[in-house]
């Protein structure tokens, strides 16, 4: 399942405004490699994907592909991490721990989240279930206070780590 299109152009513009060409990036939950398609010529990208059929589809795109749940992955440092439609698939505590680890091992990260969206397994992929279907901007602010909006509407939001790059929402 690919991520949603809404807000993606704004997120790509934000990334290009804040990161130089060749910056290191980890695409978490890479799925079909859409973020690589959007930024692979601009960033030096690795991928993390838990679902084996998706891992096969990523071959030849990313420099390195990690086949594991991001909650289990140890990495040194990335300039940017993209959590595109990932956190809603994790229990709250696991998602909080993943972001806490990213706080220490990245300059910044992008988090994309759908609001009020229930989803079960899709195409036989049990990892597609939304374990946080109750997300709203208010719930995101409560559960993930380190996140600051980049773009959002009533159905979806893009966030980054509060205070990174000295950037403030306009």
Determine the topology of domain 8-14+26-164 in CATH.
Rossmann fold (3.40.50)
For the chain, the domains span 8-14+26-164
* Least confident piece of the model among 56-60, 85-89, 122-126: 122-126
Contacts of 37 (CB under 8 A, 6+ apart): none
Which carries the bigger pLDDT value, residue 154 or residue 45?
A: 45
State pTM to two decimals. Answer: 0.91
Q: d(Cα 42, Cα 164) in Å, to the nearest integer? A: 20
Per-residue pLDDT of 134-151, as tens digits, reads: 889 999 999 999 999 999
* Six token digits for residue 9: 């152009």
Per-residue pLDDT of 89-113, as tens digits, reads: 799 999 999 999 999 999 999 999 9
């Amino acid at each position: 399942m690919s991520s949603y299109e809404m807000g993606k152009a704004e997120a790509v513009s934000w990334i290009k405004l804040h990161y130089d060409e060749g910056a290191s990036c980890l695409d978490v939950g890479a799925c079909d490699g859409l973020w690589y398609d959007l930024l692979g010529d601009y960033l030096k990208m690795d991928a993390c994907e838990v679902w084996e059929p998706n891992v096969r589809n990523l071959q030849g795109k990313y420099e390195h592909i990690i086949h594991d749940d991001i909650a289990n992955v140890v990495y040194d440092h990335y300039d940017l991490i993209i959590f595109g439609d990932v956190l809603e698939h994790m229990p709250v505590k696991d998602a909080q721990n993943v972001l806490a680890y990213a706080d220490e091992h990245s300059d910044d990260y992008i988090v994309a989240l759908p609001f009020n969206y229930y989803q079960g397994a899709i195409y036989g992929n049990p990892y597609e279930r939304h374990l946080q279907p109750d997300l709203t901007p208010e719930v995101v602010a409560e559960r993930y206070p380190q996140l600051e909006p980049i773009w959002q509407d009533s159905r979806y939001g893009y966030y980054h780590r509060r205070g990174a790059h000295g950037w403030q929402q306009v």
